[in-house]
Structure 1
Amino acid sequence: MKTIRYTHPELGTPQLGLLDGDHVYSLTEQVPTWTCPIPMWRALQALEIRPAAVAERLRRGTPLSFTELASRRLLLPPVATPEVWASGVTYERSREARNAETQIKDSVYDRVYTAARPELFFKATYERLVAPGQPISLRSDSNWMVPEPELAIVVSANGELIGYTVGDDVSSRDIEGENPLYLPQAKVFSGSCSLGPAFLWSDGEEKPETWTIELTIYRDDASVFSGQVPFSQFRRSFSELTSYLLRDNVILDGTVLMTGTGIVPPDDFTLLAGDVVEISIDPIGVLQNAVISPVPAKALATK
């Protein structure tokens, strides 16, 4: 079962919709408190109902067009998450890229790649998220920036897997490469995190190890970089990452954890204003964002 969040084209209010092909059936019209997957998830948990068991019954009313909602930029982040966390160096390609940035043999990235404790860091709050179709931003004091396409998981307060979405952890490679202690500045800035377009509910039958993450970057309508990585190259596990996230740390239902990137453009590539970034994970969908020049924090995309 897949859901999206969007702004109602007439009412202007946040809606939760069941996504079936190009059809979007409003769930908020059926249950007004369902404007996000998390209240719906809590209700199904209380009733001990599997998401797949109710999907057919929720296809009610006249559907909207997902394509039209997307073209009108009415999509919202698929989960009204309280926090987004991220993981680093969970693929071999990521370790190679981090070492290239620092140009240090046996760097901290080599050691964390094989260490028991993973690299975890804070990325964003909901207010800082960029919605699908809205622009991600460059950082004003960076000359080397890339998107980081990732599978993002949504978890409960006790670490239970609720579902999946697509994430873009926009990053400054030169700032992080200058000094690993600059990681927060390389990762957390206006317009640096996007999620979407849809939320794929976990029903215990998904096989992420068979999925492929794909990245395409367009410039002047032409592809200037494309790459893909099978998720089977992910060297950690969801339970491993969430167990460390929960250590001495209270999180809320709906917290998002991005699981790291295995696709890194070549060292001579940097994002430019006007580029368009597309990240695809077939069972979930395509997350698309244009790139703009740095903007003040108050000018973040409307949620």
Structure 2
Amino acid sequence: MHIVRYRLEHDDTARIGVRSDGVLRALPAVPSMAALLRLPLADLRGALAAPGEVVEGAALLAPVDGGTEVWAAGVTYLRSREARMEESTEADIYGRVYDAARPELFFKSAAWRVVVDGDPVAIRADSGLDVPEPELALVVNALGEIVGYLVCNDMSSRSIEGENPLYLPQAKVYAGACALSAGIRPAWEVAGDDLPVAVRVTRDGVAVWSGTTSTARIKRPLAELVSYLFAADNFPDGAVLSTGTGLAPAMDFTLRPDDVVTITIDGVGELTNPVVMGKEHFAHLRP
């Protein structure tokens, strides 16, 4: 089962439903994903227990809305540590954060900026080295409970962050930089601590970079990442926390416009996005 946001043809109203075995059913009593994430885990499960009528011809939307924020963790895999040290003029910073007690956490996107499966993702025009970052994302309710999982593409400019670690927000937060899979896989249906992750970038129909890893290689427990996110802030509409990447190409690889990025996490979902350059492709995204 996946929890989804959708809209019907000729109707801009966003609705919530559950999709199982390719069949989408409405949840008319749930007004928004943010409302769902305000509930304790037990109540949230109860809200999904009796879906309504079958829905056909729906377009799936990004699985976040309202005041839900997307955050991300960095340098949680050994490969991520190595990649950051390769690209950076301040390599020792990434070695230290990998071994530190406190994880690296950063804001990634407001709900209204998130793109979904099939939408384009972007590279910056002022960056010379850009990569996708395939990641497991945790869906967390307002009480800090992990209620589900998503596939995340945490798009990143390696050249901007590598020039100076203080440029991280510019390397990570821009139009088209955050893509999430369309459906939230409930946490009670799959364990998130040992899931295969795969990425493939195709160019003119030919794979130019691919890789596989497992969430078992994340150094920190998933609940620990959430505890640091919630330690000094409130998330009344819940949050999505992407858990870092264990896959990074060599320094001679960069994304180009018209590439296609496909990320698969077994048991969670698949996310496919074409690559574009520039913010003009995302002018339609509004709060």
TM normalised by structure 2 equals 0.91
Instruction: Tell me the SS of whatever aligns to 2:181.
Output: strand
Aligned letter for 2:45? P
Give the aligned partner of residue 276 of structure 1: 260
In structure 2, list runs of 5 or more residues that go unmatched: none
CA 1:18/1:158 → structure 2, altered by over 3 Å: closer, same or farther? closer
Give the aligned partner of residue 199 of structure 2: 215
**Cα RMSD over matched residues?**
2.3
Aligned letter for 2:6? Y
CA 1:246/1:166 → structure 2, altered by over 3 Å: closer, same or farther? same
Shift of 1:291: 0.7
Instruction: Tell me the SS of whatever aligns to 1:7.
Output: strand
Give the aligned partner of residue 83 of structure 1: 69
State how far apart, in whole Å, the 2-side matches of 1:42 and 1:177 are: 38
State how far apart, in whole Å, the 2-side matches of 1:42 and 1:188 are: 26
Aligned letter for 1:99? M
1:130 aligns with 2:115: yes
Aligned letter for 1:140? A
Aligned letter for 2:53? G
State how far apart, in whole Å, the 2-side matches of 1:265 and 1:53 are: 42
1:201 aligns with 2:182: no
Q: How does 1:130-169 map to 2 (within 5 A)?
A: 130-169=115-154
Instruction: Tell me the SS of whatever aligns to 2:231.
Output: coil
Shift of 1:61: 2.4
What percentage of residue pairs aligned between the two structures are identical?
42
1:61 aligns with 2:53: yes
1:291 aligns with 2:275: yes
State how far apart, in whole Å, the 2-side matches of 1:300 and 1:88 are: 29
Shift of 1:126: 1.1
Aligned letter for 2:273? N
Give the aligned partner of residue 242 of structure 1: 226
State how far apart, in whole Å, the 2-side matches of 1:210 and 1:52 are: 27
CA 1:147/1:237 → structure 2, altered by over 3 Å: closer, same or farther? same
| Residues 167-210 of structure 1 deviation map (CA, whole Å, 9 limit, x = unaligned) | 1110000110111111111111111101112101222x532223
CA 1:18/1:208 → structure 2, altered by over 3 Å: closer, same or farther? same
CA 1:147/1:298 → structure 2, altered by over 3 Å: closer, same or farther? closer
Name whichever of 289-298 and 142-151 sits farther off: 289-298
State how far apart, in whole Å, the 2-side matches of 1:127 and 1:197 are: 14
Shift of 1:99: 0.5
| Residues 128-166 of structure 1 deviation map (CA, whole Å, 9 limit, x = unaligned) | 211221111110110100011111111123311121111
- Equivalent of residue 82 in structure 2, options 79, 96, 105: 96
Q: 2:260, 2:275 within 8 Å by CA — same for their partners in 1?
A: yes
Instruction: Tell me the SS of whatever aligns to 1:256.
Output: strand
Instruction: Tell me the SS of whatever aligns to 2:254.
Output: coil
Q: 2:23, 2:54 within 8 Å by CA — same for their partners in 1?
A: no
Shift of 1:288: 1.2
CA 1:141/1:281 → structure 2, altered by over 3 Å: closer, same or farther? same
State how far apart, in whole Å, the 1-side matches of 2:55 and 2:139 are: 26
Q: 2:135, 2:152 within 8 Å by CA — same for their partners in 1?
A: yes
- Equivalent of residue 35 in structure 1, options 32, 35, 40: 32
State how far apart, in whole Å, the 1-side matches of 2:63 and 2:111 are: 11
State how far apart, in whole Å, the 2-side matches of 1:302 and 1:25 are: 27
Shift of 1:264: 0.7
Q: 1:130, 1:300 within 8 Å by CA — same for their partners in 2?
A: no
Shift of 1:260: 0.3
State how far apart, in whole Å, the 2-side matches of 1:126 and 1:41 are: 13
Aligned letter for 2:15? Q
Shift of 1:224: 1.2
Give the aligned partner of residue 114 of structure 1: 99
TM normalised by structure 1 equals 0.87
CA 1:301/1:279 → structure 2, altered by over 3 Å: closer, same or farther? farther
